[in-house]
Amino acid sequence: MKKHHHFIIYKPYGFLSQFVNNQTKRKKKLLGELYNFPDKTMAIGRLDVKSEGLLLLTTDGKVSDFITTRGNVEKEYYVQVNGEIIPSKIEELKKGVEIGFDGKKYTTKPCKASIIKTPNLPKRAQKIREERHGPTSWISITLTEGKFRQVRKMTSAVGHPTLRLIRVRVGAIKLEKLNVGEVKEIETLV
């Protein structure tokens, strides 16, 4: 029986969550630059180029399918947003907000959300913005779905655009003390 490989990585800001770049015009940083992954390694879900944090990789398509579509697996994000967010906006996020998806209106499923203290995270390679542009807040959002740029669209829908987005947990797997760009092979993902 063929042994599958599973990895957790701290995806840095500025990297695509893929191994092949189909855009010939611009050179983008790809996951393969971080580690010598075995053939047929795939990202489980995605983090957009401006997002950071925990990304799961596997050579097992069944595990990928379970986590992304069938497992109802929680994904937790720490999000730095523009402005001082108030509890009523957190309640809106929890209940579900209307966002655009695939050219249509979509109401997000209820989720967990809370205001958090500034987390102890590595500085991002690219500066967020100047402090003189006003206050920011940190929130935690935990979802079981994952539409294209969903967290960013959700925070914008309540009037607090995302400035920084870090995935810190997928199911029971946590980012914990991984360094930015670090790759760690693990026994299992589920």
Would you state the pLDDT for residue 70?
A: 76
- Contact between 53 and 175 under an 8 Å Cβ cutoff? The reply is yes
- Adjacent-strand bridge partners of 172: none
pTM: 0.92
Tell me the CA end-to-end span of the chain in Å, nearest whole number: 19
Residue 22: predicted pLDDT: 65
The distance of Cα 110 from the centroid of its chain, to the nearest Å, equals 18
Positions in the chain whose pLDDT score sits under 70: 1-2, 21-26, 71
Reference 141, options 74, 83, 51; nearest CA is: 74
- Beta strand pairing call for 136-143 and 112-116: antiparallel
Q: Which are the catalytic amino acids? A: 48
Query: Which pLDDT belongs to residue 65?
Result: 87
Distance of alpha carbon 70 from alpha carbon 31, whole angstroms: 25
Q: What is the pLDDT of residue 120?
A: 92
Q: How far apart are CA 102 and CA 86, in angstroms?
A: 30
Question: How many C-beta atoms surround the C-beta of residue 83 within 10 A?
Answer: 14
pLDDT of 124: 83
